[in-house]
Amino acid sequence: MLIDVGEMLHVIERRQFESDVRRHFFGIVEGVQESAVRLNGYLFVFVPGSSSFARSKERRTRVIPLVSSGFILNLAPADTVLENVKYVEIDGRLSVTDGGAFRLDINEFSSFR
């Protein structure tokens, strides 16, 4: 498998329509099969009025299909601190970071909105 138990994944749920809620998930892989991955972590939802992402208060478990084009998966380094993951604006671009070495630009080709 390309994904192993214990790895960290950042998941972007693709929107079908402009009005769809922008959802991301960041978690630790608890289980993997050929067609799906089970993650435990935090849901992030875009809040338009504040132009930021809000994190769920509690951790939750999600099953993400690997055979669907509706998700974009990004691997995070093993030393990423899950509890510290947040979204920030850096140089006009939206990034997800743990405040340490991990940083992933979300919209590297457009301005923060």
Token representation of residue 92: 């006009």
- Residue 113 vs residue 43, higher pLDDT: 43
The per-residue pLDDT for range 64-104, each reduced to its tens digit, is 999 888 999 999 999 999 999 999 987 778 899 999 989 99
Q: How high is the pLDDT of residue 113?
A: 44
- Count of domains in the chain? 1
Q: Let me know: does 53 contact 44? Beta carbons within 8 Å.
A: yes
Report if residue 45 sits inside a domain.
yes
Domain that holds residue 63: 8-105
- Residue 74 vs residue 1, higher pLDDT: 74
The per-residue pLDDT for range 26-65, each reduced to its tens digit, is 999 999 999 999 999 999 998 887 778 899 999 999 999 9
What is the DSSP code string of 25-87?
EEEEEEEE-SSEEEEEEEEEEEEGGGTEEEEPSS-EEEEEESS-TTEEEEEE-TT--GGG-EE
pTM, rounded to two decimals: 0.87
Other CB atoms within 10 Å distance of the CB of residue 33: 10
Report if residue 3 sits inside a domain.
no
Backbone angles phi, psi at 17, to 5 degrees: -135, 155
Report if residue 2 sits inside a domain.
no
Q: How high is the pLDDT of residue 90?
A: 79
Report if residue 52 sits inside a domain.
yes
Report if residue 69 sits inside a domain.
yes
Report if residue 1 sits inside a domain.
no
